[in-house]
Each structure stands twice: as structure tokens, then as C-alpha cells.
């Protein structure tokens, strides 16, 4: 992430907070975090602040388009530039397939699909106006899930939202390729973030994994950073599946 200004949506906890720390360790020059939990966002900026880097945080419920644009624009104005946007915010509740309510659909669609969409729109508008570094004007990395490609009756609404994000990733990648903006997604299998541990499904996923274990969040973060880093100059519209072989199980 050398000399890149990185903005992480959903960076207040879990993989997003880890990405914030690893981005700084990997040379990011500026760090922004947007999250519904402002206190958590501020806390996740600590590694960057300790290093003396410029930082910015904004609170936002990404289900609401105008909030997304206001938060993105505020952070971008403070940092001056956003080279890499990472969309990490999502919810992943479980519900038996035949019992998903309208409210549950609306929440999952609103956060996982619509929130990711609004943040990509805000980022694209910003990136289209900034000078390229080399041949790349900006990079977007969305978190999807291996569930998008598997039968997942335990959380079919979640799996469907992540399949939608794979699709959105392709459409955006195609639309902004001419601008030198690279848009990709990373699809993990179960990984041991605090939220995933609390929900209690990791053991079941580890048993189903050919490797016999879930991922450490760092093992997923490395691929997210790769897709969002200066090392990626040619990959766009791709979905990188990092599932320990679960995709084929
Ligand atoms: N943990 C897993 O097993 C796993 C597996 C596959 C994919 N993923 C994906 O990886 C990403 C990160 O997962 P995690 O386990 O770190 O999640 P997490 O719940 O630990 O963190 C999600 C963050 O998003 C924020 N957020 C939630 N709703 C929001 C909203 N409406 N507006 C703004 N911010 C909001 C939360 O405050 C939190 O900081 C998600 O996209 C998830 O779907 C996770």
C-alpha cells in the first residue's frame, strides 16, 4: 500500500480494523475509516495516528445514499485523495431459508448491496477527478463471500447479497476501466473475526473445509491488500475466492 491513501468502509471492527492496521504496516500514507460506529472507527485509526499519518473518520449508516456521499466526501476532503476504497461493512445473520422476513431482506439488501453500491459511486466520482498514479487512478475492493457460490440455506439472503456484490463489481469494473480505476472483490470462507466467533458457525465451516480449519483474518486480508495495492495494475472485474478449498467441497 506504499504511499496510498486508503479508505476502509466498515473499518471499525473485524477484518476492516485488521486491514486498517495492515495497510499502515504495508506503507499506506493516509487512512480513512467510515463506520456506523464512530467510536470504533476512531479506535481503528490508532495505528495510523501512532505513526503520525493523516487520518479521517466519519460515521455513516451505509444503507442511506446521502449519508454515504456525505461521509465519503468529508473523508476524501480531509485526506485530499483516496487511492484505494475497501468495502468491508456487511451483516451476516442466519435465518432458515423459508423464514426470512421482509425486514431481514431489507436490512441485508440495504447494507450489503445498496451500501456497497453507494460507496462505489462516491469513490468513482472522486477517483475520476484525480490524477492517475502511473496508469491507475484508483482501486476498489469489495468483500464478498464464498457463500455467493455455494448452496447456503442457513443464510440464503446473505449469500444472495454477496452474489449481487460480485455482479456489481463486474459492472463497475467494466464501466470505469476507461478511467484507469480497478474494481475487484475478495470472497472469503469463514474467518475468525470477533463477530463470526460470537455467531458460533466457525466450527461447522471448519469441518466443511478441505483444510480442516477456518481462515485467520490475516490470511484473507493479504489478498484484499494485494487487490487494492500498487502491485495490482492489471486485474479488474475479478472475484478472488480464498476459501481453503471450501468452494470445491
Ligand atoms: N467473518 C467471516 O466469517 C466472513 C466470511 C466471508 C465474508 N465475510 C465478509 O467480510 C466482511 C467483514 O466481516 P467481519 O467479520 O469483519 O464483520 P464485522 O461484523 O466484524 O465488521 C463489520 C463492520 O461493519 C460495520 N457496519 C455494519 N453495518 C453498518 C452500516 N449499516 N453502516 C456502516 N457500517 C456498518 C460494523 O460496525 C463493523 O465495524 C463482511 O463484508 C463480511 O460479509 C466475513
How much is the pLDDT for 158? 98
How much is the pLDDT for 209? 94
Kindly report the protein residue whose alpha carbon is nearest to atom 10 of ligand 1: 143
Which of ligand 1's atoms lies nearest the C-alpha of 147? 6
What are the average pLDDT values for consecutive 10-residue runs of the chain, which has 249 residues? Answer: 97 98 98 98 98 98 98 98 98 97 98 98 98 98 98 96 98 98 98 93 92 96 98 98 96
How much is the pLDDT for 78? 98
How much is the pLDDT for 67? 98
Which of ligand 1's atoms lies nearest the C-alpha of 111? 31
How much is the pLDDT for 32? 98
Q: Would you say the CB of residue 222 lies under 6 angstroms from ligand 1?
A: no
How much is the pLDDT for 22? 98
Q: Looking at the whole model, is its pTM more than 0.85? A: yes
How much is the pLDDT for 166? 98
What kind of fold does domain 5-248 have according to CATH? Rossmann fold (3.40.50)
Q: Would you say the CB of residue 217 lies under 6 angstroms from ligand 1?
A: no
Query: Structural domain boundaries of the chain?
Result: 5-248
How much is the pLDDT for 57? 98
How much is the pLDDT for 150? 95
> Catalytic positions, please?
158
How much is the pLDDT for 159? 98
How much is the pLDDT for 41? 98
Write the DSSP assignment of the chain as a string of letters: -TT-EEEEETTTSHHHHHHHHHHHHTT-SEEEEEES-HHHHHHHTHHHHHTT--EEEEE--TTSHHHHHHHHHHHHHHHS--SEEEE---------GGG--HHHHHHHIIIIIIIHHHHHHHHHHHHHTSPPBTTBSEEEEEE--GGGGS--TTSHHHHHHHHHHHHHHHHHHHHHGGGTEEEEEEEE--B--HHHHHHT-HHHHHHHSTTSSPBPHHHHHHHHHHHHSTT-SS--S-EEEESTTGGG-
How much is the pLDDT for 168? 99
Amino acid at each position: 500500500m506504499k504511499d496510498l491513501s486508503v479508505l476502509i468502509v466498515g473499518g471499525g471492527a473485524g477484518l476492516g480494523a485488521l486491514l486498517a492496521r495492515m495497510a499502515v504496516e504495508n506503507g499506506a500514507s493516509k487512512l480513512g475509516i467510515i463506520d456506523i460506529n464512530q467510536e470504533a472507527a476512531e479506535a481503528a485509526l490508532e495505528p495510523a495516528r501512532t505513526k503520525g499519518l493523516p487520518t479521517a473518520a466519519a460515521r455513516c449508516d451505509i444503507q442511506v445514499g446521502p449519508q454515504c456521499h456525505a461521509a465519503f466526501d468529508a473523508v476524501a476532503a480531509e485526506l485530499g485523495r483516496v487511492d484505494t476504497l475497501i468495502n468491508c461493512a456487511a451483516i451476516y445473520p442466519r435465518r432458515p431459508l423459508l423464514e426470512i422476513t421482509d425486514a431481514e431482506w431489507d436490512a441485508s439488501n440495504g447494507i450489503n448491496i445498496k451500501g456497497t453500491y453507494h460507496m462505489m459511486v462516491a469513490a468513482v466520482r472522486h477517483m475520476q477527478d484525480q490524477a492517475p498514479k502511473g496508469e491507475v487512478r484508483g482501486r476498489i475492493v469489495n468483500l464478498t463471500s464464498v457463500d455467493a457460490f455455494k448452496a447456503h440455506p442457513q443464510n440464503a439472503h446473505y449469500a444472495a447479497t454477496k452474489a449481487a456484490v460480485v455482479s456489481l463489481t463486474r459492472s463497475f469494473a467494466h464501466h470505469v476501466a476507461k478511467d484507469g480505476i480497478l474494481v475487484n472483490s475478495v470472497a472469503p470462507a469463514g474467518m475468525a473475526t470477533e463477530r463470526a466467533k460470537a455467531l458460533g458457525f466457525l466450527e461447522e465451516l471448519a469441518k466443511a473445509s478441505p483444510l480442516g480449519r477456518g481462515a485467520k483474518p490475516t490470511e484473507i486480508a493479504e489478498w484484499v491488500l494485494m487487490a487494492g495495492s500498487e502491485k495490482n495494475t492489471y486485474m479488474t472485474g475479478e472475484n478472488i475466492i480464498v476459501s481453503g478449498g471450501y468452494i470445491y467441497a
